[in-house]
Amino acid sequence: MKAIKEQLQRLNGEVGDDNAKLGKVVKELLKNPKDKVLKGEYSRIIQALAELNARRKDLEEKLLAAATAVPPPAASFGRAEPLVEEFWKKLPDAKVSRSRDGFETLRLAEGTAFPDPDESSALFVRPCYRTLYNKIFACIGKSTFLDYLLYRLACQGKTVVWCSKSVLDSVLLFTPNGVFEATSTAAFRKELRDPSTWFLCDAVEPPSKVAITVMASSPRNSNYNDYAKRAGTELWMGPWSEQELKAARATVFNSVNDETLSRLYARWGGIPRYVLQCADDPNQQQKLDAAVAVVNMGLLWKSVGNIEAALEVSHKLIHVKVDEEKCSRKRLVFGSKEIGQRVMQQLHRQGTAKLADFIKWSAGRPDLASLRGVMFQGLAHDLLCSGGLFRVRSLSDPEQRFDLTVPKMELKDVQDSDLKHVKLATTGSGLLVPVARNFAGVDSFLILPDKNGKAKQLLLIQVTVSAKHPVVMSGLQASMQKLSRDLKRLKHEMYFAVPPDLFERFRKQHFKGEAEDSVQMEQFAIEIPLVGFAPDGGDGVAAVAVSAASAGGGKVAVVDVGTRLWLSEALELVAGFACQVI
């Protein structure tokens, strides 16, 4: 205990030093918010603080455990239950069937099931599992992938030690001579010292062993704080595609109909736990409403600062997109369009200053581009409706620049049918935002009035944070067809609403589609001004930094003599379920 207390004291000193450095960087950022060196230093300190806080939390837990520890009973082991023995014996005989769509399902021999709480006998094999399996021999997946890996190892006659967080009092040893069960890994010390043994850990942080260790976990630092500090390989598995979910529904979850699947996929995104397993459970379905209800900018900052240290509620809202070939993390995204819209509505009710700070801070971060785009769209609409003077430049004539005065106006969420009935006699101005969000060429329609308050011009607004934003011609034409006769008679111009960092370098966009030249429309860039780093008390960045750091965390690495496995199934798969749908 004395050694732990000394480590805690040193860590507290390091945290204090880094917080002092952070305060200085924040003050400089307030003066020079575009300084890339300062931004880099800010991110580095945030990361360092996250790692220090994770280590501190780990030491505090160890200190508490040491103070309340009860001597553990001696590890014992013996032959596993007959059902587990039978499972291992017949696992190589499992049959793989392929659907017409090319998806595979692994079905165990009759009367056998995987050794997990769900006792599942069928495994949906995601295409990425084969990619992960191949990388494991050159590294890895999540709970259900471990079941698939166990099957492949059984076919090769390997010795495997298996432990899971869902079954804490049981560790299994699979060998060519049978299956053995113990109360802890200590009973299999000899096997774990053998470099040819495979050690599969489902959300359990393994001690350092010689065996080839594969640990699968959702991205939560608390599951692998110490383990992640060793050198190794980190692989990611992303959310499920709608096609994968439909294939799994047909083979494993056939009680869920297509309509329900599509509705829940649009709601949750690619999380099979909520789209398939808990499709008919109202208590589980309400969890999304609960997650949105508590979201705030502090929670968002913690999530983007270190998704692995974020609160569990964040994982329902923000997912990790993955490079399927490299099994590497690419970017953070909202789980679905519905989630993005609802989160934005919630954040807007809390004020726009912090939203603007996030959009400004996240410039130049490809991994946050999707989140930034969704948040900027809502903010842009809000600021346009607030009115004011906006800088505009023509995308055809570099010399044409002017200030556009937009009066304060009402933002109206409209259905397709509403647009058909807009009468200019009663509508002189307004920002019309389609609820369906299925207008491929337009995000909103801004009716600009003349000095007498009568509608004179219709601006087709495309909101973007990307330098390349081609216009889909078919989508633009479809959007125009949904307008009323009065709206069609107004002069039309396309305005790309962009943040300040993009305004000067945004270029004319090309039209995509067969009818590229059928519509002649001038293009302009309109700058949506953002406030600086000064939400709530003027020290917004510092407040953000502290909250992000306090979440704990740090970069996760997979490690071991052979290979390591890190995996995030849409950030919300738990041990046990995955096994049913992998």
Q: Over the stretch 239-264, which tens digit does the pLDDT of each residue have? A: 888 888 988 888 888 889 999 999 99
**Residue ranges of domains in the chain, CATH in brackets:** 2-71 (1.10.287), 77-239+558-580 (no CATH), 376-527 (no CATH)
User: What is the percent of the chain where pLDDT is above 90?
Assistant: 15
State residue 554's pLDDT score. 27
How many angstroms separate the CA atoms of 441 and 494, rounded? 10
User: What is the edge-to-edge ordering of all strands in the sheet holding 198-202?
Assistant: 77-79, 178-182, 167-175, 160-164, 198-202, 212-216
The H or E element spanning position 357 is helix 353-361
Q: DSSP code of 363?
A: T
Task: Measure Cα distances from 511 to 320, 496, 516 in Å.
Answer: 31, 14, 5
Count Cβ atoms below 10 Å from residue 130 Cβ, excluding itself: 13
Q: What are the tokens at 456?
A: 């004179």
269: left (phi over 0), alpha (psi -120 to 50) or beta: left
- Give the per-residue pLDDT at 553: 28
What's the token pair of residue 174? 């699979």
Alpha carbon 53 to its chain centroid, in Å, reads 22
- pLDDT recorded at residue 312: 63
Round to whole Å and give the CA distance between 570 and 568: 6
The amino acid that residue 36 corresponds to is K
Q: Out of 294-308, 372-386, 467-481, 545-559, which region has the weakest mean confidence (pLDDT)?
A: 545-559
* Distance in angstroms (rounded) separating the CA atoms of residues 162 and 175: 11
Quick one: tokens of 511? 């039209």
Can you tell me the mean pLDDT for 366-394? 89
Question: Token pair for residue 236?
Answer: 């990611």
Count of Cβ atoms closer than 10 Å to residue 75 Cβ: 14
Give residue 73's region: left, alpha or beta (phi > 0; psi -120 to 50): beta
Range 261-280 average pLDDT: 89
pLDDT of residue 238: 77
* pLDDT tier at 449, thresholds 50, 70, 90: very high
pLDDT of residue 135: 56
Strand order in the sheet with 388-394: 401-406, 388-394, 523-527, 491-498, 455-463, 444-449, 430-434, 411-414
